[in-house]
Amino acid sequence: MSMILQNLIMMAQDIEKLIKSKFKSIKNDGLGHSKTFTLQIGDIVAWDSWSEMLDTNVFEEKNGILMDILFESRTSGQGYVAKILPFGSNLPILLPLIIVRKSKLRN
């Protein structure tokens, strides 16, 4: 019995090490981390959103100014969030950083 218990303890420790090394590494500390290298505050950014008009495509591209990049910790995990001021709006919105990209708009 003690041999089985020792094996179970070793397996649990190995699983814990794997989880810590895989999901909490320097390269990947949260969903959207890789986007922090390509986006900067003040960039014109784009994202796809549900179309407001039913006679168009299902999704349409929206654009705005990236105001801030926030790191959030939730019960489902950790991730980066973009605070964006959409063009034509006075109120900023929060979007997962993973869906935000640099816009092709200029000036």
pLDDT tens digits, 9-68: 777 777 776 655 555 555 567 788 888 889 999 999 999 988 766 666 678 889 999 999
Residue 94 has pLDDT above 70, yes or no: yes
Q: State whether 2 and 45 are in the same domain.
A: no
What pTM value is reported for the model? 0.67
Cα torsion angle, 29, 66, 47, 39, sign: negative
Amino acid identity, position 76: S
Claim to verify: residue 15 and residue 36 sit in the same structural domain: no
The answer to whether the CB of 100 falls within 8 A of the CB of 82 is yes
Residue 107 lies in a domain: no
Instruction: Tally the domains of the chain.
Output: 2
Full domain range(s) for residue 62: 31-102
48 in the same domain as 89: yes
Nearest to 93 by CA among 105, 77, 81: 81
Contact 41, 67 (CB under 8 A): yes
